[in-house]
């Protein structure tokens, strides 16, 4: 694995742990795709640092369990803005 990929993977992991953010938020911050972030923190990170991988896995699991709630809030906001505009 190239050195810059390993560095990016560790940076992503630290960012996700520090900010407890989603894959989408991390991708936006680093200017890369969600697929790349996901591959980095689920596949590559295990080979680089198992301890970090476990911490990130916990945060991603928590985000996965909450995503239906976030989606509901986003939909509510969408229709609230449409009602205000119309």
Asked whether the whole model's pTM tops 0.85, one would answer no
pLDDT surpasses 90 at 30: yes
DSSP string covering 46-83, please? HHH-HHHHHHHHHHHHHHHHHHHHHHHHHHHHHHHHHH
Q: How far apart are CA 10 and CA 16, in angstroms?
A: 10
Residue that wins the pLDDT comparison between 79 and 41: 41
Residue ranges covered by each domain of the chain: 3-85
Q: What is the tens place of the pLDDT at every residue in 33-68?
A: 999 999 999 999 999 999 999 999 999 999 888 877
């Amino acid at each position: 694995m190239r050195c810059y990929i390993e560095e990016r993977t560790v940076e992503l992991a630290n960012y996700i742990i520090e900010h407890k953010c989603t894959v989408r938020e991390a991708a936006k911050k680093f200017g890369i795709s969600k697929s790349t972030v996901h591959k980095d923190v689920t596949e590559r990170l295990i080979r680089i640092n198992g301890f970090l991988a476990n911490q990130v896995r916990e945060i991603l699991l928590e985000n996965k369990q909450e995503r239906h709630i976030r989606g509901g809030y986003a939909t509510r906001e969408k229709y609230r803005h449409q009602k205000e505009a119309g």
